[in-house]
Amino acid sequence: MLRRIEWPTVALTLACYGLWAAAGIWLWPVIPALALALMAVMAALHSSLVHENLHGHPTRSRLVNEALVTLPLSLIYPYRRYKATHLVHHNDSRLTDPFEDPESYYKARWAHDRMPRWLQIVLRANNTMVGRIILGPVLGAVGLLRQEAQLLRADAPGVRLAWGLHLASLAPLLAVIWSFGIPLWLYVLTVVWPALSLISIRTYAEHRWHDAPEGRTIIVERSPLAWLFLNNNLHIVHHQIPSAPWYDLPRLYREHRAHWQALNHGYVYASYWELFRAYALRQKEPVVHPVLYNHDLPRDPDAPPTATPPASGRAA
C-alpha cells in the first residue's frame, strides 16, 4: 500500500498548508506584506496541487486525494466542479472548441458578435499576457459563478453536492483567516487575486488552435516557476501521460525531447519571459476561433457535437 502513495506530493501538500498557516500566525503580525505574499504563492501552489490530485494523485483513493486538498486556499473553485470540467478538457480532439472544451478562451463568431462592444474590448485585452494576468482571475471567477448558477438552477447532477462540499470546507478556512486578523477583502485582493494571476502565467498559452490535436498544447522548456506549476509548463507531456506524477514530467521530457517537440508541431517556448516579451501587450490568439463556428449563424443547441476540425484550418 505504501508504494502506491506518491510521497513527494503528500509532503508538498503538507508544506503548502504549513507555510500558509505559518505566514498567517507568525509573519502577519510583524511583516504583513511578506505574509500576504507568501500566502499568495502557497494559494497558487495549492491550485497546482488540486490539478495534480484530480488526475488521480498522490494515492489510488479518490476520496483521500480530494481530502488532501479540501481547504480551498484560493476560495473560489469547488474541487469537484473543477475536476468534472477539467477532465472534459482532456479530450484532446476537442481542445480549444468554444463549446466542447470548458477551458477554451476562444469564442464562436456569432457569440462574440452578440457581445456588447465593451466586453469584446475586454476579451481582446485578456488575450494579451498582461491582460490575462490582471483581468484573467476576475473574468474566470465571474464566468464560473455565472455558469454554476445556471447549473444550480437546472439542478444539474452533482453540482449542488460539489458546492455543498465546497462551502463546508470554506467555512473553517474563513474562520482561520479571521483568527489571523486578516480582513476578508484584503485576503481576496492580496492573496486570491495574485495567486490566480500567477497561475494565469501558466494557462495563458497552454493551448492554441492547430489542425493536429497534439499541436494545440505547449512546451515551455525552462522557468523558475516550474515548481509552482508542478512542471505543467511541459504541458504536452502531461496531456499525453496524465497519469505521470508532476516530479516525473521533466525526466519524461528530457528523455524524448525531440519526440515531444515534433509531436506538438514545434509549439515550444524557451521560457515564460520569451512569451511575455512577445505578447505582453499584444494578442497571441484572436478571441474568435480561427476555424470552429467561425460563421454568423448560431449553433443549433440540439445538434450533435461537430466532428474534429477540418484539416484546412490555419494554426493561430
**310 in a domain, yes or no?**
no
pLDDT at 92: 96
**296 in a domain, yes or no?**
no
**187 in a domain, yes or no?**
yes
Weakest mean pLDDT among 2-11, 132-141, 159-168, 284-293 = 2-11
C-alpha 103/C-alpha 95 separation (Å) is 8
C-alpha 207/C-alpha 228 separation (Å) is 19
**284 in a domain, yes or no?**
no
Q: Is 2 exposed, middle or buried (0-12, 13-18, 19+ CB in 10 A)?
A: exposed
Which residue range is the domain that position 9 belongs to?
2-279
Contact yes or no for 242/51 (Cβ under 8 A): no
**102 in a domain, yes or no?**
yes
pLDDT at 298: 55
Query: Which amino acid is located at 77 in the chain?
Result: Y
Weakest mean pLDDT among 20-24, 115-119, 297-301 = 297-301
Which cell numbers in the block locate residue 60? Answer: 489510488
What is the residue-wise DSSP string for 223-288?
-TTTTTTTTTTSHHHHHH-TTS-GGGHHHHHHHTHHHHHHHTTT-EES-HHHHHHHHSSS-SS-SB
pLDDT tens track for 294-312: 876 555 544 444 433 333 2
pLDDT tens track for 92-110: 999 999 999 999 999 999 9
**Whole-number average pLDDT of the chain:** 93
Sequence-separated (6 or more) residues with CB below 8 Å from residue 149: none
Sequence-separated (6 or more) residues with CB below 8 Å from residue 40: 190, 191, 192, 194, 195, 198
pLDDT tens track for 150-208: 999 999 999 999 999 999 999 999 999 999 999 999 999 999 999 999 999 999 999 99
**286 in a domain, yes or no?**
no
Number of domains observed in the structure of the chain: 1
**290 in a domain, yes or no?**
no
pLDDT tens track for 266-292: 999 999 999 999 999 999 999 999 999
Q: How many CB atoms lie within 10 A of CB 267?
A: 22
Q: Is 244 exposed, middle or buried (0-12, 13-18, 19+ CB in 10 A)?
A: middle
**312 in a domain, yes or no?**
no
CA distances in angstroms from 73 to 108, 159, 198, 296, listed in the order given: 33, 20, 14, 42
